[in-house]
Structure 1
Amino acid sequence: MTRIALWVLIGCLTAAVYASEQIPEHDLSADQIVEKNVAARGGLDAWRKIQTMVWVGHVDSANTPAEELPFALALKRPNMTRFEITVLNRRAVRMFNGKQGWKVSPSATGSGEARPYTMDELRSAHDEQVIDGLLIDHQAKGVDVALEGIEKVDGHEAYRLGVKLPSGVTRHVWVDAQSFLDVKYDRVARGPHGPITVEVKYSDYKDVEGLQIPFTIESGVAAAGKSDKLTIDKVSLNPPLDDGMFTRPASQGWHSSVSINAEPSPSTPPALSRPSP
């Protein structure tokens, strides 16, 4: 065999091996994909130990009057959430205590009145699986998962999973066929002219005390072609979070605020600051 023929053969074999490594395993079941996803994200036992979590970062959106709006997101099991975002030095807050939700929008004269969630907002909040998402411990949550096929997400093969929640709502989660990390999910929301599909993409995964957490999250309406980008700067695991911060403020103009230390760790959890009315 000539030297040229030998190099051609080696090149073909190398290409074949590379291609075989990139082709997803088509014979995996939904349960096997979920198992690999849980392992890739840090393991079931590790996630079960996380009872609270705080993210701090900034949001870039074409729908806001400023860039890099600072935000803080506090999460507590089973499904308590508090989201704060600062726009032009004024803070907007959304909070959900697992049963009821409230939202506070800043007014020209200061903090506005806390308004209750609408019925659609309540239904959506009840369906959210905070802390660890839809796939981890899905059987204990009463979530059914089915494999629907394989699709391309940003040029990479991904398993498309149909996820049915206890409420009967069905969503979709895409799991990368190589890393087995979540790369996308969608949900149906009520728009001004009827139902719309909201797509959320995850990227820039980083290790946080053994857990894989996406530090970039983009969301938007699938048909609109525009998205909001949420960039996480700091994450704290298991900080002490009082249930009171997820409930309606006791008085207008007074709201707890979530902050986080520069170097989050179990010994230096986020602090809760209480600005004056």
Structure 2
Amino acid sequence: MKRIAWWWVLLAIAAAFVLAQMPAARSDDRLGTEEIVARNAEARGGADAWRKVMSMEWVGHVDSPNAPTSNLPFMLTLKRPDLTRFEVTAANQMIVHVFDGKEGWKVRPSGSGAPDVRPYTSDEVKFARDAQVIDGPLLDHAAKGIDVALEGTDKVEGRDTYRLSLRLPSGATRHVWVDAQNFLDVKSDREARGPSGQPAIVEVMYRDFRDVDGVRIPFVIESGPVGTDRKDRLVIDKVTLNPPLDRLTFAKPVWQGRHASVTIGADTSPASGSPVRP
């Protein structure tokens, strides 16, 4: 019996020696950054399917703690590479944000009756250029000049996720959390400024992914400053891929007269783009 026992001891020592010579398993990077990115693309419908999407239109409603009422109807129009037009209607008045790839404009109601048209701030232009409006920052990230690195793993609402760090061409840093089981986007964040101009981190949650003509899109998107329960909730009712778009859709809004509404017009040159990403 002693002899048999010694054989078990020797086998255990030998196994321990072999294991010691093997490279340690990577807990945070066990799949590798590029594999996570590739699985994310596959989970969302595949890179080839997304590359065929040249424009997109979302129709739905917004629930916001800062809005006077709930269920505010909105339309979001997107076109590669970064053109956006966002319209939301509140109290029978339309608020419009437009970005043509170089400049952006905001249209809001004013007390005079004529809409107030203002250019984007420098921070808003930077965000619009960084938005990666159609397919997000992970797909074809190298071609977009975006560096992606796996920082580690986190629990997000009880789910295991990979935390990816993104360095955008503008120099901005963002994070994307990818579900470790289904590889869909769970959350992202970005730097922003609060009402008084102080720096703040805004987090965006992606929920209720559905198939739309071969690609998967979140039909509920929640966003707001980190650490607060006051979130804006974007609920999508309908998504249209590759809708025909007029060339003036993303042009500067102009006020045509006292009794007219804001239109897209005047400049007939082709438009050379979003608050959220799919």
Q: Which interval holds the TM-score relative to the shorter structure?
A: 0.7 to 0.9
Counterparts in 2 of 1:94 and 1:193: CA distance versus 1, 3 Å: closer
Q: Deviations over 1:137-178 (max 9, x none)?
A: 111111110000110111100100001101111100000001
Task: Please name the residue that 2:226 is paired with.
Answer: 222
Quote the offset at 1:226 in angstroms.
Answer: 1.5
Q: Is 1:237 the equivalent of 2:245? A: no
Whole-Å separation in 2 of the counterparts to 1:89 and 1:39: 41
Counterpart residue identity of residue 121, structure 2: T
Match of 1:104 among 103, 107, 122: 107
Quote the offset at 1:46 in angstroms.
Answer: 0.6
Quote the offset at 1:87 in angstroms.
Answer: 0.3
Q: Which has the higher contact order (CA 8 A, sep 6+)?
A: 2
Match of 1:151 among 150, 154, 157: 154
Q: Deviations over 1:58-101 (max 9, x none)?
A: 00111110010000000000100000000011100000000000
Task: Please name the residue that 1:114 is paired with.
Answer: 117
Task: Please name the residue that 1:11 is paired with.
Answer: none
Quote the offset at 1:125 in angstroms.
Answer: 1.0
Whole-Å separation in 2 of the counterparts to 1:77 and 1:169: 20
- Contact 1:114 / 1:248 at 8 angstroms: preserved in 2? no
TM-score (norm 1): 0.81
Structure 2 counterparts to residues 1-277 of structure 1, below 5 A: 27-108=30-111, 110-191=113-194, 192-252=196-256, 253-255=261-263
Whole-Å separation in 1 of the counterparts to 2:29 and 2:146: 23
Q: Which runs of at least 4 in structure 1 moved beyond 4 Å after TM superposition?
A: 108-111
Counterpart residue identity of residue 84, structure 1: E
Quote the offset at 1:110 in angstroms.
Answer: 4.2
- Contact 2:115 / 2:255 at 8 angstroms: preserved in 1? no
What percentage of aligned pairs have identical amino acids?
57
Pair member with larger Rg: 2
Quote the offset at 1:57 in angstroms.
Answer: 0.2
- Contact 2:105 / 2:253 at 8 angstroms: preserved in 1? no
Whole-Å separation in 1 of the counterparts to 2:263 and 2:227: 36
Which blocks of at least 5 consecutive residues in structure 1 are unaligned?
A: 1-23, 257-277
Secondary structure of the corresponding residue to residue 116 of structure 2: coil
Task: Please name the residue that 2:15 is paired with.
Answer: none
Secondary structure of the corresponding residue to residue 218 of structure 2: strand
Aligned residues: CA RMSD: 1.5
Counterparts in 2 of 1:193 and 1:101: CA distance versus 1, 3 Å: closer
Q: Deviations over 1:27-53 (max 9, x none)?
A: 111100000000000111110100000
TM-score (norm 2): 0.81
Counterparts in 2 of 1:120 and 1:232: CA distance versus 1, 3 Å: same
Secondary structure of the corresponding residue to residue 180 of structure 1: coil
Whole-Å separation in 2 of the counterparts to 1:195 and 1:242: 37
Q: Deviations over 1:101-122 (max 9, x none)?
A: 0000023454513210111111
Quote the offset at 1:123 in angstroms.
Answer: 1.2
Whole-Å separation in 2 of the counterparts to 1:172 and 1:34: 13
Quote the offset at 1:181 in angstroms.
Answer: 0.3
Whole-Å separation in 2 of the counterparts to 1:125 and 1:237: 20
- Contact 1:164 / 1:171 at 8 angstroms: preserved in 2? yes
